[in-house]
């Protein structure tokens, strides 16, 4: 079912400083910041040779990463996103195996404009898993 690792998301409190870390200290290619108000984050993409890191800063009220940053005020690894070919088939297979899909179980349009689902961290070794249809 799993294909590529689409991205690793790192939640940060200060996107400018985090971007400088990756661009200037680690010497990576980084994008301009993109505000995604419908997702409650501003994102910078760190482009690696085989995948990307997404640096996420909260945007607006009720950001989905606000609670994480309250618990982890330095920031930290927030989730991993795996690509699948068919998100509805993936969801049905996961539910049949007893894994919990977050929300109402229907795919939403993710930050890249593709259908995504999030899986319950307690079912995946304490790791928040996003699935994205490619």
Residues at the contact surface with its own copies, assessed by CB under 8 A:
1-5, 8, 10, 12, 18, 21-22, 24-28, 46, 48-51, 53, 55, 72, 74-80, 82-83, 93-94, 97-99, 121-127, 129
Are 64 and 40 within 8 A, CB to CB?
A: yes
Q: How far is the CB of 109 from its own copies (least distance, A)?
A: 22
How far apart CA 61 and CA 4 sit, in angstroms, is 32
Q: Residue 7, Cβ neighbours under 10 Å: how many? A: 23
Nearer to its own copies, 38 or 102 (CB): 102
Residue that has been written with the tokens 């690792």 in this structure: 5
Q: How far is the CB of 125 from its own copies (least distance, A)?
A: 4
Q: How far is the CB of 128 from its own copies (least distance, A)?
A: 8
Cα-based distances in Å from 77 to 85, 98, 107, 133: 25, 25, 23, 22
Nearer to its own copies, 6 or 39 (CB): 6
How far apart CA 79 and CA 17 sit, in angstroms, is 20
Establish whether 132 is a catalytic residue.
no
Nearer to its own copies, 1 or 38 (CB): 1
Catalytic residues: 130
């Amino acid at each position: 079912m799993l294909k590529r690792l689409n991205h690793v998301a790192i939640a940060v409190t200060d996107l400018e400083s985090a971007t400088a870390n990756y661009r200037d200290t680690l010497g990576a290619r980084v994008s301009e910041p993109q505000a995604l108000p419908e997702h409650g984050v501003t994102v910078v993409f760190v482009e690696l040779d085989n995948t990307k890191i997404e640096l996420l800063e909260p945007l607006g009220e009720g950001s989905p990463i606000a609670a994480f940053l309250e618990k982890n005020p330095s920031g930290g690894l927030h989730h991993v996103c795996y690509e699948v070919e068919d998100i509805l088939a993936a969801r049905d297979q996961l539910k049949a195996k007893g894994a919990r899909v977050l929300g109402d179980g229907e795919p939403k349009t993710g930050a890249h404009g593709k259908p995504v689902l999030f899986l319950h961290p307690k079912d995946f070794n304490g790791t928040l898993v996003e699935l994205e249809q490619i």
